[in-house]
Chain A
């Protein structure tokens, strides 16, 4: 049974459909990467899965359980974590408090998970008493990912985690994503750096105009001349 199975998903904002029937499925230990041109509906798909916009058609299953249009806090309970692209930390809370908010539904495991996150992102331990709003972009992204991981999700949704980061941090984030996946967490992420992202992807989804254009393994998509010509800039 796939971890996430989305079939013919439709949805959008204010009666305007952005997603016109998108299929997407990943297994429990896979990294899925969504790429495509601007306005293709990549982030919208992620938000649709996480219940942040109204799904008007299709089905979404998590471990075979229908989850479309559930409230985000229910989805967190069911094992989903979401890191938005922007505004993804609580600026006036300290790093430690930010992380604790991630474990809001599981206060008992908070202390244990905190130690693991500090181990995973060492810079966060040093800055744990600083307000998150004072951190650099890369460190904020770590806080945001750490916050989502605190709830021990089975599936982590990342919306452009490397946007606006320097190459050094970008590589760091991709390494971390691989490690997270190595620890048994399924990852579904939207990325602008399509080549780098597909290189680590078990499964790649190329979206255009709210529909699937190509779906294959990451390596196969990278090797496909059609994909390269249309979506990877030659």
Chain B
């Protein structure tokens, strides 16, 4: 049974953590795609920027959370969401809108977003340095060890405080997004613009406003994902650049332009990654004595080493592109 706990810790919990972060990240990518129709490479660094805002605020007011008993980083998150949403709108006004007005090809927008990525990364490195810093400045990262009430189980299920916040906020974000897109006037207008921008304009929808709202939403979601990622590990300037490929893979798996597909895609990619690096040998160990003697069980039965984790989203991406370019939820055909 200890093996089962090991599986829960290393696959169920770890996969949900990665999956949640990929899911929130991929929603942002897919929203930009559905409204502005280009692959937004700077999304990862918007996430880092959001986390950096939280770090900055937490360093300034390290005691703020203790009064109400939550980590200061969580208290500062709403403010960081606002700041990142603002940043997203400013970036659009300064860098993307002029290009859009010239009617450039989507790939030029992609290049511009690469430029924005570097600007953001440069600024963050300039101000934060290159080392890692914890978002828990004055707080302590709680680690919960839940012993299972089963005989012979010695290993506890381990889950940390930021992971619990991550799950809660992911659920909240998904519900909120669903409500926004299906119930509110702006959310429906966003879907309308994603379907048919010309008709949206002909219906009197102010598309410039929809673009601004989209960027706010994208910035806010990026701040949530980045902060929760940084709380789970530590803050680094290249925190999110490495998850650019997985979140793109997640958005494409879910069907480009499909927010809920992106969430599903995030969990697919997250769990695929964790399952691929999981050492299956552990699960087979209890049966070791029953195996025939010629079959010797190697100590490491992971599909890929952790150092090759990046291969997993890449192969998912390639497989989807080859066999089903619209993704599992029938996204836009490109």
Is A62 among interface residues, defined by CB-CB distance under 8 A?
no
Looking at the complex, which one of B194, B200, B202 makes contact with A50 (CB distance below 8 Å)?
Answer: B202
Digit string of B183-204 for contact with A (CB within 8 Å is 1, else 0)? 0010011011011101111111
A56–B203 Cα gap in the complex (Å)?
Answer: 24
* Complex interface: chain A residues within 8 A of B134 (CB): none
> A129 to B204, alpha carbons, bound, how many Å?
23
Known A100-B188, A101-B189, A107-B185: A93·B201 in contact at CB below 8 Å: no
**Which residues on the B side are within 8 Å of A76 (C-beta)?**
202-204
Q: Please pick, from B191, B196, B204, the residue contacting A87 in the complex, using a CB distance under 8 A.
A: B196
- Once the chains are docked, how many angstroms separate the CA of A93 from the CA of B198? 15
Q: Digit string of A63-83 for contact with B (CB within 8 Å is 1, else 0)?
A: 000000001110011000010
* Neighbouring B residues of A92 by C-beta, 8 Å: 191, 194-195
Decide yes or no whether A89 CB sits under 8 A from chain B.
yes
Whole-angstrom CA separation of A50 from B225 in the bound complex: 42
B130 CB within 8 Å of chain A: no
A72 contacts B191, CB within 8 Å?
Answer: no
Interfacial chain A residues near B160, Cβ < 8 Å: none
Known: A87-B196, A90-B195. A97 touches B188 (CB 8 A): yes
Q: Closest approach, in angstroms, between the C-beta of A128 and any C-beta of chain B?
A: 14
Q: A151: nearest residue on chain B (CB-CB)?
A: B204
Tell yes or no: B306 within 8 A of A by CB: no
B203 / chain A contacts, CB cutoff of 8 Å: 76, 101-102, 104, 147-148, 151
A92, B192: Cα distance in complex, Å: 8
Which residues of chain B have C-beta atoms less than 8 A from A101's C-beta? 188-189, 192, 200, 203, 205
- Identify B191's interface contact among A73, A88, A90, A151, CB under 8 A: A90
Most buried by A among B192, B203, B206, B207: B203
Cross-chain contact of B202 among A82, A97, A98, A100 (Cβ < 8 A): A82
Please, which residues of chain A bring their CB within 8 A of the CB of B192?
A: 90, 93, 97-98, 101
Complex CA distance for A104 and B192, rounded to whole angstroms: 11
Contacts of A151 in B (CB 8 A): 203-204
Given the contacts A90-B191, A93-B192, A107-B185, A77 and B204 also touching, CB distance less than 8 Å: yes
Minimum C-beta distance from B174 to chain A (A):
19
Q: Mark B71-99, 1 if CB is under 8 A from A, else 0.
A: 00000000000000000000000000000
B205 and A104 form a contact (CB under 8 A): yes
Option from A73, A90, A98 in Cβ contact (under 8 Å) with B204: A73
Contact indicator B206/A73 (Cβ below 8 Å)? yes
A-chain residues with CB within 8 Å of residue B196 when the two chains form the complex: 87, 89-91
Query: CB-CB < 8 A to B206: which residues of A?
Result: 73
Q: A137 contacts the other chain (Cβ, under 8 Å)?
A: no
- Contact A100-B185, Cβ < 8 Å, known A90-B191, A93-B191: yes
**Chain B hits for A87, CB < 8 A:** 196, 198-199
Give the docked Cα–Cα distance between A154 and B114 (Å): 47
User: In the complex, A101 Cα to B203 Cα: how many Å?
Assistant: 7
Residue in A closest to B206 when the chains form the complex, CB atoms: A73
**B166: min CB distance to chain A, Å:** 30
Q: How far is the CA of A82 from the CA of B202 in the complex (A)?
A: 6
A89 contacts B191, C-beta separation under 8 Å: no
Docked complex Cα distance between A163 and B200 (Å): 22
Chosen A-B contacts, 21 in total, with CB atoms closer than 8 Å, are A73-B206, A84-B198, A84-B202, A87-B196, A87-B198, A88-B199, A89-B199, A90-B191, A91-B196, A93-B188, A93-B191, A93-B195, A97-B192, A98-B192, A100-B185, A101-B188, A101-B203, A104-B185, A104-B205, A107-B185, A147-B203
Partner-A contacts on B (CB < 8 A)? 185, 188-189, 191-192, 194-196, 198-207
User: Chain A residues in contact with chain B, CB under 8 A?
Assistant: 50, 52, 71-73, 76-77, 82, 84, 87-93, 97-98, 100-102, 104-105, 107, 147-148, 151
Known: A72-B202, A77-B204, A97-B188. 9 other contacts (CB 8 A): A76-B203, A84-B202, A89-B199, A90-B192, A92-B195, A98-B192, A147-B203, A148-B203, A151-B204
Give 10 closest A-B pairs by Cβ, nearest first: A76-B204, A90-B195, A105-B204, A73-B204, A90-B192, A72-B201, A101-B192, A82-B202, A101-B203, A104-B205
